[in-house]
Amino acid sequence: MSLNHTATVFSIGNISIAGKLILAPMDGYSDSPMRLVSKQFGSAISISEFINAIDIKQGHPHLLSQIKFSDDERPFAYQIFDDKPERMLAGALKLREHNPEYIDINMGCSAKNVSNRGAGAGLLKHPLKIGQIVESLVKHLDVPVTAKIRLGWDDDSLNYLETSRIIQESGASAITVHARTRKMEYSGSARWDAIGEIKAQLSIPVIGNGDVKSLADAERMMAQTGCDAVMIGRAAIGNPWVFSGSQREEQSQTELLRVVELHLHLMAEHYGEKIGVMLFRKHLTRYLHGYLNTPEIRKHIYSLEKEKEFFKAITKLVNQSHPTETS
């Protein structure tokens, strides 16, 4: 079964999706450069980091880099979060002006500063509000609307069957399920069975998410749950090869350096050289797992601000050393 190429297609509303592996939205990571690199390896949809509707209203300075995307990323979706239905709608209408293929609503963020104010996974405590929000976005937007949920706030309030049904009945075109509760944050194992239960009761596409680290895991999740596609988050950081069915550890040094150079360059283009190089460090740590072994090496590499000298130092390091398991 090929999950990562154009053979298998599903649809989100009227948008055809060519592929079944999707890069998960990840604040601080899945910006335009990471999405472009992931797309080259087969990620079927590009979804923005979550965007705060309050920031849209107030015109926060970092919005520009969050909103900017390239046509090469398409199909592209903005993800938005808030706790206030009217502000969410106003934000979504603004985002719509930039021509995404669809808009996704975050109902799963577990971060305390988001969920404790009733946004992200905080919405799961208020199924009626979920219905209101989805309905109003569906009514006022001329692009499909989707939602990304968790299983509930905690084990005493597992309401995923109710919330997913409300989301579908309110007109959403697809749903993504991170199969953990808000309380679990990122601990324990994702409960894939719940994805299967949701899939069994819905007719809209269900995208499964949680703990998928390889193509084999994705195939297992699809077989076990019947979900239409699979979203990969943490395992894709510094590892875009996962979307084409292999892993970073299997790559030659030449291929590793090719992708690092590409990603670094896209970062420098997107953010400007200085900030792009600085922000790339967290990706580099993952790309070079096993190479950045000593504090001296890290200090040296991370002191470099120019794209060319930064990449030169990386090339030298990779060519001189053999990766170890510790980094």
Ligand X SMILES: Cc1cc2nc3c(=O)[nH]c(=O)nc-3n(C[C@H](O)[C@H](O)[C@H](O)COP(=O)(O)O)c2cc1C
**Token duo for residue 80:** 């938005």
73 near 50, Cβ under 8 Å?
Answer: no
**DSSP, residue by residue, 90-119:** HHHHHHHTT--SEEEEEE----HHHHTTTS
**What minimum distance in Å lies between the beta carbon of 261 and ligand X?**
24
Does position 225 interact with ligand X (CB under 6 A)? The reply is no
List beta partners, residue 102: 77
- d(C-alpha 199, C-alpha 207), whole Å: 9
Element at 85 (helix H, strand E): helix 85-96
Nearer CB in complex with ligand X: 63/235? 235
User: In terms of CB distance, is 76 or 311 closer to ligand X?
Assistant: 76
Which element (helix H / strand E) includes 80? Answer: strand 76-81
CA-based nearest residue to 16, from 59, 53, 57, 45: 45
**Least distance (Å) from ligand X to the CB of residue 288?**
19
Judged by beta carbon, residue 24 or residue 45, the one nearer ligand X is 24
Out of 43, 46, 52, 79, point to the residue binding ligand X (CB under 6 A).
79
* Letter string b/e over residues 94-107, b meaning 16 or more CB atoms within 10 A of that residue's CB: bbbeeebbbbbbbb
Among 25, 144, 152, 196, binds ligand X (CB under 6 A): 25
Torsion angle, alpha carbons of 97, 34, 234, 94, to 10: -10
Q: Which of 20, 94, 148, 191 binds ligand X (CB under 6 A)?
A: 148
Specify whether the CB–CB gap between 194 and 160 falls below 8 A. yes
Is 24 a binding residue for ligand X by CB under 6 A? The answer is: yes
Which lies closer to ligand X via its Cβ, residue 79 or residue 136? 79
Alpha helix segments (H runs only) across 97-248: 112-115, 127-140, 160-169, 192-201, 215-225
Active site residue 109: yes
Q: Is 53 in the site for ligand X (CB under 6 A)?
A: no
Please say which residue, 199 or 307, places its beta carbon nearer to ligand X. 199
Q: Interface mask (CB under 6 A) for ligand X, residues 189-218, using x and -?
A: --------------------xxxx------
Alpha-carbon distances of 230 from 21, 56, 124, 248, rounded to whole Å: 5, 29, 22, 19
* Whole-angstrom distance, CA of residue 73 vs CA of residue 100: 10
Q: Using the rule CB under 6 A, give the single segment among 229-237, 243-251, 280-288, 290-298 that binds ligand X.
A: 229-237
Chain-centroid distance, C-alpha 283: 15
In this structure, the chain runs to a length of 327
Q: Which of residues 268-327 bind ligand X (CB under 6 A)?
A: none
The verdict on 55 binding ligand X (CB under 6 A) reads: no
Is there binding between residue 133 and ligand X (CB under 6 A)? no
Pick out residues in 101-120 that bind ligand X (CB under 6 A). 106, 108-109
- Report the chain's C-alpha Rg in angstroms: 20
**Does 49 participate in binding ligand X (rule CB under 6 A)?**
yes
Tokens of 74: 């398409």
| 50 vs 287, beta carbon nearer ligand X | 50
Nearer to ligand X, 83 or 307 (CB): 83
Which residue is catalytic, options 53, 67, 95, 109? Answer: 109
Contacting positions for ligand X (CB under 6 A): 24-29, 49-50, 79, 106, 108-109, 148, 178, 209-212, 232-235
Active-site residues, by number, are 109
